[in-house]
Amino acid sequence: MADKSKSIIIKKIKKGHEGHHGGAWKVAYADFVTAMMAFFLLMWLLAMVSPEKRAALSEYFKHFSIFEKAGQSFMMEGQQQVLEKGHEMKTFDFGEGTISLSPEDLKEKLKKAIEEKLRALRDQAVVDIFEGGVRIQLVDLEGKSMFLPGSAQLTPSAKEILKLVGENIKDLPNKIAVEGHTDASPLKTGRITNWELSTDRASSARRELEANGIDPVRIARVVGYADTELLIKDDPHDPRNRRISIILLQSKVEQPPKVQEPVQPPAAPTAMQPPQPSQLEDVKKTQVEKPAAKQEQKKDTAKPDIGIKPIKPLTPVTPDIGK
């Protein structure tokens, strides 16, 4: 009977619960660890990048606009192209002194000039930044050509654009490259190919630039590419592929060194000339005057003046014989 009066307590433990917050802390901790891993991975990648690429990346994001430059490579765009020359970092500018411009500033200056003075031809002048330099392209449009068909003769509209370009870049010391391009359409005459035509058109553009004040020394190269570098790659026969490219390069014309005036050597001593009679008389006079001066010096030394004088006149003292 005593055993039946004892109560048996059964304790049941329910598993699968993590308290009132559950297992959410594990998710937060995993996110934190993932973010820290990504951060240190980014730091490691930045440490492995060369200094010039870090500088170019910094310049790109300093002037970045998602509406203008989204999807473009930061190595080709930006206000200033930063390149490495040996062990020295150098920021390229156009011009020097008071006319120093960055590529972006020169690009905007040319666009503004074309917009103000050649509004009707603004669609045929394309200004962009190419390989660190500023490129001005004169393109053909349907019914509007820069050259007469099949020839290298410039049209009046092309001369107007080249004149405006020459006025804006003639004061800069940077060298210039002129390139000619054609579309893929073969010439009907068959006498020449697109290679000769593109080269002749580039030479015509060069001559027009020189006629508008460009120093011939600044011309670095004049090249014809035929249809090998198309502007509209999807349509090789597009008229915009027929164009002239004027590239303002980063390299500058070397200024001649300043010529220093030669230093004149000291004059050689001249031969001794015999004394003139007047000079002999002056020498004799000086020789005669010198003994007199010596005699005066002897008299003064015989009786030196020591500067002691009596206050009252001295009277002779007579002895008193009576005493």
Which domains, from first to last, does the chain contain? 29-91 (no CATH), 94-252 (3.30.1330.60)
What's this model's pTM, rounded to 2 decimal places?
Answer: 0.52
Tell me the C-alpha distance between 221 and 175, whole Å. 9
Taking residues 274-295, what's their average pLDDT?
55
Q: How confident is the model at residue 133 (pLDDT cuts 50, 70, 90)?
A: confident
pLDDT of residue 85: 40
Token duo for residue 15: 């598993």
Is a pLDDT exceeding 70 seen at residue 11? Answer: yes
Return mean pLDDT, the chain. 75
Taking residues 129-137, what's their average pLDDT?
83
User: What is 168-232 written as a DSSP string?
Assistant: HHTT--EEEEEEEE--SPPPSS-SS-HHHHHHHHHHHHHHHHHHTT--GGGEEEEEE-TTSS-SS
pLDDT of residue 107: 85
Question: Do 106 and 184 meet the contact criterion of CB atoms below 8 Å apart?
Answer: no
pLDDT of residue 34: 95
Is a pLDDT exceeding 80 seen at residue 218? Answer: yes
pLDDT of residue 63: 66
Tell me the C-alpha distance between 124 and 79, whole Å. 24
The full length of the chain comes to: 323
Residue predicted with more confidence, 194 or 271 = 194
Taking residues 233-237, what's their average pLDDT?
91
Taking residues 86-100, what's their average pLDDT?
47
Taking residues 75-102, what's their average pLDDT?
48
